Structure 1
Amino acid sequence: YPILSHTWGEGEVTFQDIQDIEVAKKKDGYAKIEGACRYARKYHFEWIWIDSCCINKESSAELSEAINSMYQYYEDSRICYVYLADIDASRGEDPRSPKSALEGSKWFKRGWTLQELLAPSYVVLLDKDWKEIGTRWNLRDVISMITSIPVQVFEGGDIYKFSIAQRMSWAAFRETTRPEDKAYCLMGIFGVNMPPIYGEGDRKAFMRLQQEIIKISDDRSIFAWVAPAEEDGPRGLFARSASEFRMSGDVVKTVSDNSQSRSNMNSDRSYSFANNGLHIQLPLEPNPTHNSPDVYLAFLDCQSQLDKQYLSVYL
């Protein structure tokens, strides 16, 4: 089956609307539904999955299942149609040209569209009139430049081989309509599941996401984030949002067979989160640049890919 990726606007056709086609036709979003179906039929598909009208949002159980399964829906699709309503290919603009309209498309700025870019095996980008702009493959260099996602990802690379910090950085500048979705839209990218609780706020949702991640991963780059410059108070080891990983695109796990690795000071890489906090063992060194003798550098099991420097946090 094909699947549609798009940015939501006013008058989207809902699951309830689509039960009565005459009601659906009165919505502004119906033209998009019709266009997607027409494009799918052109290539002999009988079905297409569209999130706006294929999820019954009035059922909390169905909504929770859909949010937790969304990455899988896109991964299992035969092809993903990316509909860019703010792009007009008839202008003849080269998408590779500097400051092209493609670079400014809001589709690249939304939270949910990140997994819709990464999960499918085949992605085609379409303009407002359903004219093909290109595929993820032949535009991979442009998409990499726009998203700061390594081009290797679009050349068949396994996203789970990239560190947690790197994957978080891909979402650092993306926005969602509902604050909690900044965390929920990342579940598939980290291979975790959790119930959505709208109303809990973005910080609680992101904390729960991190707690789920550390249950299945010993990647300590999850602690390799940078607080906003205006913050000066003490913080815990966990980030408050993906935006705090904005400078972590080059953070990789330390190569385990490196005999000079600081991580060899600590053979136990596992850590856990319990009701009394985080349990973790980190190699410590005195901080020579800090006035207080009680402040140490705690080294994480990761380093910068650019300068090979080991990363640490203050404790």
Structure 2
Amino acid sequence: ARSIRAMYKWYSQSSIGIVYLTATASFSDIDSDSWFRRGWTLQELVAPRCFLGKYDEDTGPVLSLSMPPTCKAIQRLTKIAIEELHGFTPGIGRSMASRMLWIQNSTTTRAEDHAYLIIGISGVDFPVRYSKGEEAFFHL
């Protein structure tokens, strides 16, 4: 439970977020990679200062947030605004409604995880209890 509450902090203090995209051999395959639909991807994607999803030894980055086509594809897949991909700040504010869309469009193995995803991206903290199911949202 403590690790769930600290995940965003760990990712945000990292210098780079590196993701192994198993279903993405090239940029054209990005739509088929399930990583972009996983719930915990949200924190892994927006928290690190630098994100690298694919790298080719000969040509360099294939999927990096420093590349505009990558940002546009990730925005389309996740509904995360490009501004948030480049300068995410956790907290509750005018962008919370759009952040709830990110969560709604994601998949998790446990119903509670949708509520617990909010801990990092909103900057709030509340107890993690895996016996609550969808009722976990009522703890917000």
Smaller-chain TM-score range? 0.7 to 0.9
- Greater relative CO (CA pairs within 8 A, separation 6+): 2
With over 3 angstroms needed to count, the CA separation of the structure-2 counterparts of 1:111 and 1:186, relative to structure 1, is same
The structure richer in helix per residue is: 2
1:80 matched to 2:17? The reply is yes
Q: Which amino acid aligns with 1:113?
A: T
Alpha carbons of 1:157 and 1:173: their partners in 2 closer, same or farther (altered >3 Å)?
A: closer
Change (3 A) 1:149 1:107: same
- Residue number in structure 2 paired with 1:92: none
| Residue from 57, 60, 63 that aligns with 1:134 | 63
1:181 to 93, 106, 113: 113
Aligned counterparts of 2:77 and 2:66: Cα–Cα separation in 1: 14
| Residue 197 of structure 1 pairs with residue 129 of structure 2 | yes
Q: Tell me, yes or no, if structure 1 residue 115 matches structure 2 residue 52.
A: no
| Matched ranges for 1:114-263 at <5 A | 114-126=42-54, 132-138=61-67, 139-158=70-89, 160=91, 162-202=94-134, 204-209=135-140
**How large is the RMSD of aligned CA atoms in angstroms?**
1.9
For these two proteins, the number of residue pairs brought into alignment is 133
Q: Are 2:90 and 2:120, in contact at CA under 8 Å, matched by a contact in 1? A: no
For structure 1, which runs of at least 5 residues remain unmatched after alignment?
Answer: 1-63, 90-94, 210-315
Task: Report percent identity of matched pairs.
Answer: 36
Give the 3-state SS of the residue equivalent to 1:185 in structure 2. helix
CA distance in 2, matches of 1:114, 1:175: 11
Q: State how far apart, in whole Å, the 2-side matches of 1:73 and 1:159 are.
A: 13
Deviation of 1:159 (Å): 5.2
Give the structure-2-normalised TM-score.
0.85
